[in-house]
Structure formats: structure tokens, C-alpha cells
Chains A and B, each alone.
Chain A
Amino acid sequence: MSEPNPPRVRLATTSLAGCFGCHMSFLDIDEKLFPLLERVEFDRSPLTDIKNCGPCDVGLIEGGVCNAENVHVLREFRANCKVLIALGACAITGGLPAQRNHLDLGLCLQEVYLTEPSLARGGIPNDPELPLPLDKVYPLHEIVHIDYFIPGCPPSAEAIWKVLSDLLAGHTPYLAEPLIRYD
């Protein structure tokens, strides 16, 4: 494999309160992953062992913000990524996890940890190692500035590929109608 001439674009990805479906859809570019790897190098991502985001060209974030740690990671990405992209419904609106937004957090806790039928010994987890959950699940753009939004649950591999290709070519990303889907 020959070294490409242009410097590689540095790409970071992470999942906050998401299901990893958006990351899976990214991998659904299938064989196109290999030419992409000629142009891109990964920073922090579930695919690498880099645990903190360093200076990057592009950041892709899946999932909304549900706890204090998500806020921290989101800010780390914003501080380091020139272009930050909200990937998928959860990042854009909170998505399915935001269904808890109209519920009382304490009742949720009781339901899950104190009253389920197969529970032998209940109790609500409260160790300091567990990050503080937020009262609501927030979309990314309410916490930091977001440059681009790719809708869908998950966005199709074609849509993700198109946005990345546009960025690699130095264009403003553009999705034509058929690639914009919300399901």
C-alpha cells in the first residue's frame, strides 16, 4: 500500500447516548472502508484504542447527551474537531432515549432497580464511579455548536459516505433529497 500524497484527514467518532446503530451504518459502507482508510486516519473512535480526542479535522457524534460524562466528551470533541457533525436522530433530537424526558427520573429508577419481577436484591446504583445522569436527554446542538446534521435512524451508509466524500474533496457537504431520510 503506497503512502498517499495529501496528508490524511484525521477523523474522530464517538457514541454518547446512542445505540451504536449510526456507527454500524458507517461500517455499512462495506468495501469502501478500504479506500477511505487511504485518506483518513482515526483518532478516538470505538474502532481504535485512543481514549481521548486529540486535534482532528472531522468529528462524528452519535447519540444525545444523557449524563455528565457525555457533556464532557462532547465538549472535548468540540474543542478538538474543526468540523463537528451530529450523526443520526439521537444526536439531533435526543431520539428514542429522549422518551424518558417526560418522566420522573426517580420513578424510572424505582421501576428498574426496585420493582421488577425477577429482582432478588434491589437497590439503586449510586457509586461515584457512575456519571451523574441528567434529568433529560439533550440534543448536541443545545450544548455546543454543531456544523452539520445528518438525519436518519440511522442515516444510510450512502448518506454518511456522501458527507465524508464532500468533506474530503473540500466541498460543503450536501445531501440530495433521496439521501435525506428520517426512518
Chain B
Amino acid sequence: MTESLSTSPGVALETASGDGLRRVAIDPLSRVEGHGKVTLLLDAEDRVQQARLHIVEFRGFEKFIQGRPYWEVPVMVQRLCGICPVSHHLAAAKACDMIVGATTLTPSAEKLRRLMHYGQILQSHALHFFHLSSPDLLFGFDSDASRRNIVGLAAAHPELARRGVLLRKLGQEVIRMTSGKRIHGTGAIPGGVNRNLSAEERQQLRAALPEAIDWSRQAVQLVRQLFEDNLAVYREFASFEANTLALVRADGAMDLYHGGLRARDPDGNTLLDDVDYAHYWEHILEEVKPWSYMKFPFLRQLGADKGWYRVGPLSRVTQCDFIPTPQADAERIAFLAFDAGRAARATLGFHWARMIEMLHAAEVIAELVDDDDISGSELVVRGSSARRGVGVIEAPRGTLIHHYTVDENDMVVRANLIVSTTHNNQSMNVAIREVARRYLDGRTLTEGLLNHIEVAIRAFDPCLSCATHALGQMPLAVELVSNGGDLLDRRSRY
């Protein structure tokens, strides 16, 4: 069979010159969260000469957060992303913990934050699999586009669609109870949290959990079945070799709320292990490419060309030594063993790993709901304050870094964010080039073929919404004319 592909064919498609080539765009990318597009340049024989994933929008958060008091940050920053607001809320709160000197939270505060976070993992993974990606996997990558969505899923597999909606609902309810709102709540504050759970709330969650765990386990089985039924395609689709990065607990356990940085090369050799993230920039650097607002991070020790890496469920599940809940760990072991380990190296293995994490999240929530600490009343601690705070968390889509510096009046003077999807930037670009080379080269491009590109991108569950907080310079001018014909704005290049 085909060996795992080296990175070179993918990288070669990054920078063809555009002269005389025909442009095909997939714009906007659909069934992903956020704003992005793919462009392909084809030569006269329809061979793909260039394939790029562009992030096309800017927010400017890092700039406009300057001059705001640090305690506003955990609430403001959620508005970067309504799909994983909790991840930004908690990463910012962890950074604020450092600023207020809260080195160790109270058991109640830490567990309530964990509960919120695993609720977020549950809802986000359910949304991604059932609402967005499963139609590709169940109906086929080039099946009828009008059916390839949640509406088609509800018609063809009503029970599956219902479970997806209810799993997401449970995660959203966990978030509401811990933060006050399902989206953009306010539960985490510097040094702790501002609420706990009542006995009634715990009872309400407890009642829903056995079913949620069972459905999650069945979702893992469903992905396994998809691999078994289409082994050749699933093994190779969009596959490539990459370094991996994730937070891992000191004892090697999967821990999505806190840990040290671990990175490995494609052969499993350790590049980083149990590294304190407070100085992440000693290990991770970023570069800018002119054709995307999303930066390209890499591991400093390997350099920009070789040091790019992959984050998210697939990296986490394959990189931890064990998952600290029994059912998810059993599924992890089965996943690693499947097809002599090939599923764990395949891009579509993301879906399998994501469902294992969803099962893990449901198990963790069940444990926490039975822990009386989540109804405790010691919720906040303070210590001696600092000027710099770094908060890192494993968001649903991967490692999320928030970094703030404050002045003597507690105002933010610098902010740097590296969001999960940004870490996967080069990996997603390599994945689409691999697909372009294998499936599109020399063929007439149909909607179904182009959807193969999107299937590869969706495997990463990119959150392009998160990825759009930076802005660029255009060699153009445009005029914005109002409803009434007035010139509102005119821009030309800087």
C-alpha cells in the first residue's frame, strides 16, 4: 500500500506563480465555523499548481484590548468566537489568575471551571460531528449537495440528528449553569469563579448523563464503522506526516484544562515534554504569509520549514499516555490499535479522536456532578500581583494561548493570542494540497470534487471565527456607499 506521504508534495503547491493559470475558488467555505475560502490555480491541463486556504477577515482584538482593565478581558474576549467562547473565557481567566497571583485556585473554583470547560468540549464536538461533518461521512463526499447537511441528516437518520442536538444541548446547559448564559457567560473571574451549582442543577444534569455517555460511546463506534467500511479511503484521505503539540498533565494523562506542553515528531520522538507554558515563545514562533490573515506558527527548535505542527483531538488522543476516564481510555487503546495504528495517523482519524474526547467529556462531567466541591462556597483567591499573565488551555480545536501584559494601573498594554485553528494553519494547507494533488489533478472540477477539499478542512474542525483577529493591507481602493447614496467610507492602501 501507499506509504505515508512526505510533506514535500503539499508544500510544493504553496507558491506557484499565477501567470497564465486559471483560478477556481471555494468561497465561502461552508459547514465550518467562521469565514474563509480556498483558491486553486490550474494550468491548461487542469493540473493544480497552487492551493491555498485564506483567512479573509480581521478583528484587531490584540490592539483594541489595549487600555482596558484586565478584569474585563475574560468577558470581552469571548466575542472572538461564539462557538468556543468558554475556551477564550477560561484562557483569559487563567492569564488573569497569574496577574492577581492566584497560583492555586480553591478546589471548588477549579472544578467549576473544569465543569464549564468539559461542557464546552461536549457541545462543540457534538456540533461539529453531527451538525456539520457527519453528512459528508454518511452520505459520501460527493453526494447530492442539497442533502449533505443537518436537514438531510434529520431526514435520513432522525435518531442520529436528535442525539446530536441533545448532546449539544447538554453541553450548553452545563455552560449555562456554570457561567449564567449558554453563550458569552461570565462565570470565571480572576482568581476563581463567581457562582456554584445548586442541588437542583446537579440533579438535572445527573439525569441526562447516562444517556449522553451511551450515545457518545455509540458515536465512537459509528466512526469506527465508517473506517471499517471504507478503509482504503479513510486511511489515506488528506493524510500527511506532522509534528504534534498538546497540553498534557504531568503524569501523562489527557487534561484539557491544564498541563505542560508536549510536542512530538511524526516518528513519536519527544520534542518538548512537560514544558511550562508561561514562556511559550521560547518554543513557538509565528510567521506571516502575505495571502492569509492567519499566521503560521512553528516550533522554534525545528525552524519554520520543518517545525509546523498539528493540534486538536487527533494530537491529544495519540499523544497522551492515558485518558483518565475508563470508557474513553478503552476507546483510545482500540483506536491506536486499529489497522496497525494507521487510523491514528490519518486526517479522518480526527473524527474518531473527537468522538473519543466527547465520550471523555461526558464521563468527566458525570464525575464532577457527583463531587460536592462544585456546590462549595470558597470560590476566589488572591496573591501578590504580577504584570504578565499567560493562560493556555486545550480548546475543542487545540491548544489556545492568551498572553497579556498590564501596567501599574491594571490596564492591558500588550496582548498576544495564538488560537487553536492558527496552530493548524500549515497542516490544513498541506491537507488540501494533498487532496488537490490526488483527487483533482487533471479532472474536470465538479461540486463533489471540490467538496473533497472542504471535507479535508472540516476534519480539523477549524474555527475561522477565532482565527480572524488580525488585519491586512490591500493594494486597492473601495468605496462604501450608504443606502441613501452617501459616501460612508473610502479606503486606499496605506
User: A106 at the A/B interface (Cβ < 8 Å)?
Assistant: yes
Contact in complex: B285, A120 (CB < 8 Å): yes
User: B269 at the A/B interface (Cβ < 8 Å)?
Assistant: no
B3 shortest CB reach to chain A, Å: 31
* Chain B residue nearest in CB terms to A118: B281
User: A5 at the A/B interface (Cβ < 8 Å)?
Assistant: no
A130 shortest CB reach to chain B, Å: 6
Cross-interface CB contact of B288 among A15, A28, A124, A138, cutoff 8 Å: A124
Cross-interface CB contact of A37 among B57, B154, B414, B483, cutoff 8 Å: B154
Evaluate whether A112 and B470 lie within 8 angstroms (CB atoms) in the complex, with A99-B64, A122-B288, A127-B291 already known.
yes
Contact in complex: A111, B62 (CB < 8 Å): yes
Cross-interface CB contact of B60 among A28, A42, A100, A183, cutoff 8 Å: A100
Which residues of A lie under 8 Å from residue B218 when comparing CB positions?
none
CA of A43 to CA of B285, assembled, Å: 41
Which residues of B lie under 8 Å from residue A49 when comparing CB positions?
30-31, 145, 148-149, 447, 451, 454
Contact in complex: B286, A126 (CB < 8 Å): no
Cross-interface CB contact of B286 among A17, A119, A127, A129, cutoff 8 Å: A119
CA of A100 to CA of B475, assembled, Å: 21
Contact in complex: A130, B482 (CB < 8 Å): no
B28 shortest CB reach to chain A, Å: 6
A interface, over-half SS: mixed
User: B389 at the A/B interface (Cβ < 8 Å)?
Assistant: no
Which residues of A lie under 8 Å from residue B473 when comparing CB positions?
106, 109, 124-126
Which residues of B lie under 8 Å from residue A127 when comparing CB positions?
54, 290-292
Contact with B along A89-116 (1 / 0, CB 8 A): 0000001110110010111110111001
User: A41 at the A/B interface (Cβ < 8 Å)?
Assistant: yes
Contact in complex: B472, A117 (CB < 8 Å): no
* Chain B residue nearest in CB terms to A146: B483
Contact with A along B73-98 (1 / 0, CB 8 A): 00010111111010000000000000
User: B35 at the A/B interface (Cβ < 8 Å)?
Assistant: yes
A60 shortest CB reach to chain B, Å: 14
User: B137 at the A/B interface (Cβ < 8 Å)?
Assistant: no
Contact in complex: B480, A113 (CB < 8 Å): no
* Chain A residue nearest in CB terms to B135: A49
CA of A69 to CA of B386, assembled, Å: 42
Cross-interface CB contact of B154 among A34, A97, A126, cutoff 8 Å: A34
User: A67 at the A/B interface (Cβ < 8 Å)?
Assistant: yes
Q: How large is the interface on A (under 10, 10 to 19, 20 to 34, 35 or more residues)?
A: 35 or more
Contact in complex: B162, A121 (CB < 8 Å): no
Evaluate whether A116 and B286 lie within 8 angstroms (CB atoms) in the complex, with A31-B162, A105-B471 already known.
yes
Which residues of B lie under 8 Å from residue A145 when comparing CB positions?
483
Contact in complex: A27, B127 (CB < 8 Å): yes
Say which one of B165-173, B194-202, B221-229 lies at the interface with A. Answer: B165-173
* Chain B residue nearest in CB terms to A62: B82
User: Which residues 27-52 of B have a CB within 8 angstroms of A?
Assistant: 27-28, 30-35, 37, 39, 52
Say which one of B234-242, B243-251, B320-328, B486-494 lies at the interface with A. Answer: B486-494
CA of A122 to CA of B481, assembled, Å: 34
Evaluate whether A1 and B155 lie within 8 angstroms (CB atoms) in the complex, with A47-B150, A108-B63, A111-B63 already known.
yes
Evaluate whether A21 and B82 lie within 8 angstroms (CB atoms) in the complex, with A30-B166, A103-B63, A125-B473 already known.
yes
Contact in complex: B470, A20 (CB < 8 Å): no
CA of A156 to CA of B31, assembled, Å: 22
User: A147 at the A/B interface (Cβ < 8 Å)?
Assistant: no
Contact with B along A131-152 (1 / 0, CB 8 A): 1111110100111110000000
CA of A139 to CA of B34, assembled, Å: 19
* Chain B residue nearest in CB terms to A15: B35
Per CB-CB distance, the 6 closest pairs between chain A and chain B, nearest first, are A21-B82, A127-B291, A125-B472, A120-B285, A121-B287, A96-B79
Q: List 7 A-B contacts (CB under 8 A).
A: A17-B59, A31-B165, A37-B151, A46-B33, A113-B288, A130-B54, A132-B474
User: Footprint of B on A, CB under 8 Å?
Assistant: 1, 15, 17-25, 27-28, 30-31, 33-34, 37, 41-42, 46-51, 65-69, 71, 95-97, 99-100, 103, 105-109, 111-113, 116-136, 138, 141-145, 153-154, 157, 183
